[in-house]
Structure 1
Amino acid sequence: MKQFHIYVAVLVLFSACKKKAEKTVEVEEQSTPDFVVAFGSCNMSQEPNYFWDDILAEKPDVWIWGGDIVYADTDDVDRLRSIYAMQDTVAGYAKLRNEVPVIGTWDDHDFGVNDGGSDFAIKAESQQVFLDFMDVPQDSGRRTQEGVYASHDYEVPAGKVKVIVLDTRYFRSELIDDTDSKKRYKPTTDSTATVLGAAQWQWLEKELNGSDADFNLIMSSIQVLSGEHGFETWGNFPLEVKKLENIIVQSGAKGVILLSGDRHISEFSRAEVEGLSYPLVDFTSSGLTHSYSSFSGEPNQHRVGEVVSDKSYGIINLNIEEKKAEFKIMGDNGTVLQELKQSY
């Protein structure tokens, strides 16, 4: 009888173990992205940037400067050049530049004047200093055109990615001070007012119309969709916003995504655009070395999630075959501060 009880106990134990072994835990499989974009803005070369090693760890296919690469705010060309040179001495950035293609645009502080536009006296000279920093060859067409705008095409086994960097400084019309409220600027309905200028608009339309890329990323430097806060934004030129949306729709370009910086905060904005089969996302990533840590709120009808007021950078994982994009606001040591996923 004792042996029988032992046999039953062993049988029950074996049966329980077998049932336990048959249980499986389903883990969501993370697909490897076909193309990885890293970008950021608002970077003081004299301040520590703790993100360069984290950015490299993401194995990006490209790094995009979103503007305010340095804080110069000067009309002295030699001083401007020396401040850019200081950024080149930053060890972490030098390592990134040696391993990853670097492209990008400027904003006001590396352009040379806060909130500056078309009336900046040394904009032509500043452009050449910027192009020197970006290692643009002397025989490049960008050396003779007005403005630093450019397009870059990348091809991987899964498909193609186009990155368009805009110049929202060289041609931008004067901003209108808002004396009626506590906001800094107010929108203008002047049909002659512009963000990009005639030549750049024609160029952008041609780039999008002729694009066969699976994803088309547009770096604006200033925000496009968040237009209610009264600081610098495309929202100060609502007719230009509509023009941009129309060009995107009419071009038929696939997977258009907007990138921006400038604000010292990071956030996702998303809007439905008539005629576009997917929502238009504006991913703002700012800033790298300093941020609006005392941020207490501002209106943005297109915001998705919450504003991140910590220092951060942006990562975009593109899955070309599945037509999906994963947007991530990143903190130090690979911390994901917020993320958004979008299908196209």
Structure 2
Amino acid sequence: MKRAAAFAILIFAGACQSPVVTPAPEPAAILSEGLIAPVSAEAALELYYRTLPEDFYPRAPAGVPLPADSAVLTRILVASCFDEEKEDSVTMRTLAAEDADLFLMIGDNVYGDRRGNQYVNNEPELDELRRSFRLLAEREDFQLVRAKHPMMVAWDDHDYGANDAGREFPFRRLAERIHERFWGLENEDVGAWPGTYYARSFGPEGQRVQVIMLDTRFFRSALTPTDRWNARGRERYIPSEDPEQDMLGNDQWTWLENQLQEPADLRLVVSSIQVLPTDGHGWEAWSRLPLEQQRLYELIRSTDANGVVFISGDRHTAFLYRDDAAIQYPVYEMTASSMNVSFARTSTEQDRAQIGAGYPPENFGAIEIDWQAGEVRLAVMSNTGETVNEVTAPFRQPAAP
């Protein structure tokens, strides 16, 4: 009761203010009478969230430490879209049985805005999101994966707290706290700034993998709704040329520029939503904010960042792509989706950058690095571990024999 009462007071104090969307709003202001009041509704929530006890937050089972900075990586697994309410997962158990140096769980890691088949409106304490993470932590198949693989994580809309949401989501700051505490990131660098983006590098010079985990939710502008619902290529959103729209926010853009100048031989740029596709669909993707998509490509060109490969999830279908014109060399993307939320057996979607057919059944991705050849194999795997599509992407010139 005391917690609820304090929350009500804070919301009342900030209710007459319009929400402020900034990377780090000041939580309170001093009034002329010497009293303290929130400067916005979001700031009122922030003050309240700071009072929540640690047992408020769900925690993942203890995991395997990340590889050492000097470790040479040769195999990385990738997956997204996992409904924690469903029965034991073939995909998750297959992942637990696979050998790999690292596992990237890249969004919709729970469906925290849905109970069963019904979407729910998350309340300020994000009860449904927290419940979903607790269910995930209790699953034996997930516990096996945590015990087997070092993990890096990104979020997408359903583990952010609202379907297709961006920076307008009013409870995003609590969602960030839930995410970072569940995955044990609150005391890492990512825990020190708004948003969930971070990067890690592994391996010596000549064999260095940089993994860049972007946050395409916390700072993103609202997308432009379609003018023709479910029309092919315009299913939910259409491209917008509005120069005020943003994908990453100023701080994350600056951070990314710095990361792309770090030494690396292979760079896995992880975006929860797809990067390269432009004309195959009208769902969420960087192509819905084409100026931001071009900004990303120009940043890669201007930093002369070598070895970039895009990794994405979200789509409930696995895809491979190649674009020869986006940046200064042919760039590839693997979309690995979904672990256990499959809606079809076949796909007729075709983008101009697409390699082969999409694969909608349950799946995950495998990234296999051949350091001698300077190539990376991007493979779409069935839920039982068979390769269903693959492409080999060069990331540097072959080493001398």
The structure whose RCO (Cα within 8 Å, separation 6+) is larger is: 1
Give the TM interval when normalised to the shorter protein: 0.7 to 0.9
Alignment of 1:321-340 (within 5 A): 321-340=372-391
Q: Report the CA distance between 1:148 and its aligned residue.
A: 0.4
Q: 2:188 aligns with which of 128, 140, 157?
A: 140
SS of the aligned residue for 2:356 comes to strand
- 2:100 match: 60
Q: Report the CA distance between 1:212 and its aligned residue.
A: 1.2
Q: 1:38 aligns with which of 74, 77, 82?
A: 77
State the one-letter code of the partner of 2:155.
Answer: W
Q: Report the CA distance between 1:333 and its aligned residue.
A: 2.7
The answer to whether structure 1 residue 225 and structure 2 residue 264 are counterparts is no
- 2:110 match: 70
Counterparts of 1:296 and 1:267, CA distance in 2: 10
SS of the aligned residue for 2:159 comes to helix
Q: Report the CA distance between 1:269 and its aligned residue.
A: 1.2
- 2:398 match: none
Counterparts of 2:382 and 2:163, CA distance in 1: 27
Q: 2:171 aligns with which of 115, 122, 135?
A: 122
Counterparts of 1:331 and 1:179, CA distance in 2: 36
Q: Report the CA distance between 1:153 and its aligned residue.
A: 1.4
**Superposed CA RMSD:** 1.8
* Structure index of larger Rg: 1
State the one-letter code of the partner of 1:341.
Answer: T
- 1:244 match: 296
- 1:191 match: 243
Q: Which runs of 5+ in 2 are unaligned?
A: 1-71, 114-121, 396-401
User: Normalising by structure 1, what TM-score?
Assistant: 0.85
SS of the aligned residue for 1:159 comes to coil
Counterparts of 1:198 and 1:157, CA distance in 2: 30
Counterparts of 2:352 and 2:164, CA distance in 1: 24
List per-residue Cα deviations over 1:265-294 (Å, max 9, x = no partner).
0010110136523x1111101000012316
SS of the aligned residue for 1:244 comes to helix
Counterparts of 1:263 and 1:239, CA distance in 2: 22
- Residues 56 and 162 (structure 1), Cα distance of their counterparts in 2 relative to 1, 3 Å cut: same
The answer to whether structure 1 residue 257 and structure 2 residue 313 are counterparts is no
- Residues 156 and 36 (structure 1), Cα distance of their counterparts in 2 relative to 1, 3 Å cut: farther
User: Normalising by structure 2, what TM-score?
Assistant: 0.73
Q: Which moved more, 1:109-118 or 1:222-231?
A: 222-231
Counterparts of 2:192 and 2:165, CA distance in 1: 21
SS of the aligned residue for 1:56 comes to helix
CA contact (8 A) 1:43 1:289 kept: yes
CA contact (8 A) 1:214 1:320 kept: no
CA contact (8 A) 1:34 1:320 kept: no
Alignment of 1:153-302 (within 5 A): 153-155=201-203, 159-180=207-228, 182=231, 183=234, 184-209=236-261, 211-228=262-279, 229-273=281-325, 276-277=328-329, 279-293=330-344, 296-302=347-353
List per-residue Cα deviations over 1:103-152 (Å, max 9, x = no partner).
1111001100000011000000000100111111x433322311100001
- 1:25 match: none
* Matched length: 309
CA contact (8 A) 1:38 1:60 kept: yes
Counterparts of 1:121 and 1:108, CA distance in 2: 13
Q: More strand by proportion, 1 or 2? A: 1
SS of the aligned residue for 2:391 comes to strand
CA contact (8 A) 2:112 2:130 kept: no
Q: Which moved more, 1:298-307 or 1:197-206?
A: 298-307
CA contact (8 A) 2:368 2:378 kept: yes
State the one-letter code of the partner of 2:198.
Answer: A
List per-residue Cα deviations over 1:227-250 (Å, max 9, x = no partner).
321110100011111111111122
Percent identical pairs in the alignment equals: 29
Counterparts of 1:274 and 1:131, CA distance in 2: 33
SS of the aligned residue for 2:311 comes to strand
